[in-house]
Amino acid sequence: MSEDLNSYMLKTAKGDKESFRFIANSLGYKMHATVIRILGSSHSEDADDIVQNSLIKLWQTAPRWVNKGSVESYIYKIVFSTCIDFIRKYKSFEEFKDNYSNLVITDDKCSKSELRKILLKEIQKLPKDQQEAILLHYFSGYKQKEVSNILKKSEKATESLIIRARKKLKTILPKDFFEDFLHV
């Protein structure tokens, strides 16, 4: 499917609306699920808007897309950044309150939404290839082999990316949350 999407993305980059619809229809459900996984189920009503904004960004940036990586990876980076934009825009909401200066991360002091925000901030600090691997595997639900195909890396290299990213994330997250959120 990845090569198929690449050909549709090349057509989309030239302004082909039908190719864009094909991409949106092919990945829309997974994009929506990714948004829910990133923001949590309490934002299911916002997920449609975030997917819509992500698709708008995809359409606008399609002419600059370079056929070196996978379309899926490119789209999930857009979805992730759109989610981060949403969090920044609504950070005054209680759920996204940015008050972590004296925060000690323990399960009894942090809500799941606070930990999710911390996780997203930490994912942004990872090297690009580790970010992509983690987002595709844990947030978008791709199997490791599929992630390897999308990233055009060997399965061993992909496994290594995921392991290194998890090690970094594990040091800042409580064990229960880490195990629950990243299914470890």
Exposed e or buried b per residue across 64-82, where buried means at least 16 C-beta atoms within 10 angstroms of its C-beta: ebeeebbbbbbbbbbbbeb
Section 148-157 average pLDDT: 87
Say if residues 110 and 174 touch (Cβ distance below 8 Å): yes
Predicted structure pTM score: 0.63
Sign of the CA dihedral running 157, 161, 162, 163: positive
pLDDT score, position 91 = 56
Lowest mean pLDDT across 41-45, 78-82, 130-134: 41-45
Length of the chain: 184
E strand or H helix at 157, and its extent? helix 155-170
Q: Which of 117, 132, 141, 183 is nearest to 162 (CA)?
A: 132
pLDDT score, position 99 = 33
Confidence band for 74, pLDDT divided at 50, 70 and 90: confident
CA angle 109, 115, 117 (to 5 degrees): 135
DSSP state of 178: H
Give the list of residues 6+ apart from residue 180 with CB closer than 8 angstroms, or none.
none
pLDDT score, position 20 = 95
